[in-house]
């Protein structure tokens, strides 16, 4: 989460990069927002259950964040996905994407 990213930025070691990108999907009339980093990625067990309530990797976490985001996205006909980014078979970071319908012109 954002607090983890902030904390990691203040620790020693190689600097992580975060890229925020938008993509217009004209064929589907949808906008896609991508957030990608160069961190360690998500553990497999988290990827499989990330949107379930109470799934967390933190000792004091509630595991409700992504479950709430998914519910809100579903209610607005949006889609949220998380994945590990790979290059040449190696995990090079994580990716969260949110895609949603464009508003109709008024």
- pLDDT, tens only, 37-46: 999 899 999 8
pLDDT tens, residue by residue, 18-73 = 999 999 999 989 999 999 999 989 999 989 999 999 998 888 999 999 999 999 99
Domain span holding position 29: 2-101
91 within a domain of the structure (yes/no): yes
Q: Are 47 and 84 in contact (CB under 8 A)?
A: yes
Domain total for the chain? 1
Of the candidates 26, 30, 70, 34, the one whose C-alpha atom is nearest the C-alpha of residue 50 is: 70
Give domain status of residue 58, yes or no: yes
41: Cβ contacts below 8 Å, ≥ 6 apart: 84, 85, 91, 92, 93, 94
Residue 103: pLDDT band with limits 50, 70, 90: confident
């Amino acid at each position: 989460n954002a607090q983890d990213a902030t904390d990691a930025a203040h620790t020693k070691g190689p600097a992580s990069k975060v890229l925020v990108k938008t993509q217009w999907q004209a064929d589907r009339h949808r906008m896609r927002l991508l957030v990608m980093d160069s961190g360690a990625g998500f553990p497999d067990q988290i990827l499989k259950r990330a949107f379930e309530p109470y799934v967390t990797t933190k000792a004091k976490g509630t595991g409700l964040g992504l479950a709430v985001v998914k519910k809100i996205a579903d209610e607005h006909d949006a889609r949220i996905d998380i994945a590990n980014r790979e290059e040449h078979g190696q995990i090079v970071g994580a990716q969260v994407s949110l895609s949603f319908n464009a508003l109709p012109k008024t």
